[in-house]
Amino acid sequence: MFPFKTSIQFDRQCNQALYLQLSNQIIQLIKNQTLAPHTKLPGSRTLAEQLNVHRKTIVACYDELLLQGWVESIPKKGTFVHPNLPVLQEQKLEGCKAFDLKKDTGFSFYKNSILPEKPKKNNKSLIYLNDGVSDGRLTPIDEIARTYRRVCSKKNVFDHLSYGSVYGNDTLRDVLVEYLNTTRGLHITKENVLITRGSQMGIWLSSQLLLQKDDIVVVGNTNYGAADATFLNQHAKLERVMVDEHGLSTRAIENLCKRQQIKAVYVTSHHHHPTTVTLCAERRMRLLNLAKQYNFAIIEDDYDYDFNYNHAPILPLASHDTNGNVVYIGSVCKTVAPVFRIGYLIASKEFVDEASKLRGYVDRQGDALLELTFADFIKSGDLDRHIRKVMKIYKQRRDLFCKLLKDQLGDFFEFEIPKGGMAVWTKLNPMYSWDHFSEVARTYNLKIGDWKQYDSANLGHNCIRIGFAAHNEAEIFELINRLKKTIGEIKNSETAR
């Protein structure tokens, strides 16, 4: 008989039941054919004695093996290892490279060569030049967490725990209708609102509905990289038009329209990403007229609506749209914090219906509890109060950063003070390259990031975005300091040459 006594080990400290410890070990013995098919297992009384456990443990173990299909019971004969169990084939070593289960895949799949990787951050002593992100330290996290808990302690919370609407929570949709109609001059009802997981999901859903292979989408010759990647991943064709100090050139778009059917224009109307300019009134109206005349969609990504330091926000294209041409996208990710993936896609009912259907198969639905939390946060006026508060701070940071950059590094960097947003579009003196600058900067614990993303059309403008909003006063001084040291070293090595 098989030496069960020496092959089976019980761990009496472990909180797994003995019968399970036993059955799992017997399964291992069956899987590696130590116990071959047809092998008769000892009677429960015999095995119980051998292993010094209660007979009930053995009976429970055999029941378990039977239920799982590892053994079969033949009346009046006993319990036998299942006769037809196949042997598991292990991966053979090929040449000298061992198969690494953690890393290698035993089947082929489609790898994506279009979407770029997202950058990873992990070093605290580094200063990262960011693209223009908010300062997490200003997030009213206490208020939000308190509201979340209040939402969870309401009697009706159980209505929100099960599967919900693919459109998002109804209360938040109602609140957004009022909020967007008031603050942005929209004229929408609830059926025009889909709650998304941030603006990116809005861009992604729009591109799914608007673009198939070889469809044309118009973007600026400088443009938001993640939008470009999203459209390219749909195998759409990007037509790039000039961006000047008034934004996208509507004349260039008109010329394109005369030659071919375009499906969509992507515009960050308020401020152009990355150059931070605002689309002027004339072009806003021309773009709307072109969309009507040539039947294309305007994907208006209004990520920066809330941040205007020199004047009131300009009403979005969507507020002037009387022909159903605009898909309007926004989120609280910039105004509150990126971790709260609460955004919206505003469009005609039929577009919203289609987009919602699709999202139902991607992540099924949003987080109703967080959506209710933000419904409260917006309706109570807390969002507006928060925006007013951080606006003041960001304006001070913009002014300080721009002053220092101008005063101390004006010979090396050229820029306009941005009227809004969280970043300065900064041109490095053409004598230098960001490539080299970035290399030297690393020695001063300054990480420039992916500067190439800002020039996907290869214009050679030598500009990148430098975010100022996430840094407090001391950090701005330190950032300028590291920029100066970098420039210093670059100049020194020039002189030495």
Q: Where in 101-140 is the site for a second copy (CB under 8 A)?
A: 101-112, 115, 117-118, 120, 133-134, 136-137, 139
Which residue from 4, 303, 344, 351 is in contact with a second copy, where contact means CB under 8 A? 351
Number of residues counted as binding a second copy (CB under 8 A): 136
In the bound state with a second copy, the residue whose beta carbon lies nearer, of 68 and 260, is 68
The contact mask relative to a second copy for 386-425 (x = CB under 8 A, - = no) is ---------------------------------x------
Q: Which of 172, 441, 470, 479 binds a second copy (CB under 8 A)?
A: 470
CB of 362 to a second copy, least distance (A): 5
For 130, 139, 384, 397, the CA distances from 412, given in Å and listed in that order, are: 19, 34, 38, 20
Site string (181-200) toward a second copy, x via CB under 8 A: ----x-xxx-xx---xxx-x
- 236: closest CA among 259, 256, 206, 257? 206
Prior bond of 75 cis (ω within 30°):
no
Beta strand segments in 16-70, E? none
* Distance of closest approach, residue 164 Cβ to a second copy, in angstroms: 7
Spatial distance between the Cα atoms of 149 and 372, rounded to a whole number of angstroms: 11
The least CB distance from residue 352 to a second copy, in Å, is 10
Distance of CA 435 to the CA centre of its chain: 27
For the bound state, the minimum distance from the C-beta of residue 389 to a second copy, rounded and expressed in Å, comes to 16
Contact in structure between 305 and 330 (CB atoms under 8 Å): yes
Smallest separation (angstroms) from a second copy to the CB of 79 = 14
Contact between 97 and a second copy by CB under 8 A: the answer reads: no
Phi and psi at residue 298, to the nearest 5°: -105, 115
Q: Which two structure tokens, joined as six digits, stand for 15?
A: 């909180």
Radius of gyration of the chain (CA): 31
Task: Spell out the residues 6+ positions from residue 69 whose beta carbon is closer than 8 angstroms to its own.
Answer: 82
User: Which C-beta is closer to a second copy: that of 360 or that of 410?
Assistant: 360
Site for a second copy in 261-320 (CB under 8 A): 263-264, 278, 280-282, 285-286, 288-289, 291-293, 295-297, 310-312, 314-315, 320
Burial per residue of 127-161, b for 16 or more beta-carbon CB atoms within 10 angstroms, e otherwise: bbbbbbbbbeebbbeebbeebbeebeeeeeeeebe
What number of residues does the chain have?
Answer: 497
Q: Which residues from 208-227 bind a second copy, rule CB under 8 A?
A: 208-210, 212, 226
Stretch binding a second copy (CB under 8 A), from 343-351, 388-396, 453-461, 483-491: 343-351
Residue 354 burial class via C-beta count within 10 angstroms: exposed 0-12, middle 13-18, buried 19 and up = middle
**Cβ(71)–Cβ(62) under 8 Å?**
yes
* Cα–Cα distance measured from residue 398 to residue 404, given in angstroms and rounded to the nearest whole number: 10
Taking CB under 8 A as the binding criterion, the range among 172-180, 361-369, 441-449, 475-483 that sits at the site for a second copy is 361-369
Amino acid at 180: L
The whole-angstrom distance between residue 191's C-alpha and the CA centroid of its chain comes to 25
Q: Which two tokens stand for residue 288?
A: 């709307």
Q: Does residue 88 bind a second copy (CB under 8 A)?
A: yes
Min dist CB 6 to a second copy, Å, is: 23
Of 9, 13, 153, 495, which one interacts with a second copy (CB under 8 A)?
A: 153
The verdict on 332 binding a second copy (CB under 8 A) reads no
Q: Which of 29, 195, 345, 370 binds a second copy (CB under 8 A)?
A: 370
Contact flags string 11-50 toward a second copy, x per CB under 8 A: ------x--x--xx--x---x-------------------
Which CB, 128 or 461, lies closer to a second copy? 128
* For a second copy, the closer CB: 240 or 246: 246
Q: Which is nearer to a second copy, 40 or 427 (CB)?
A: 40
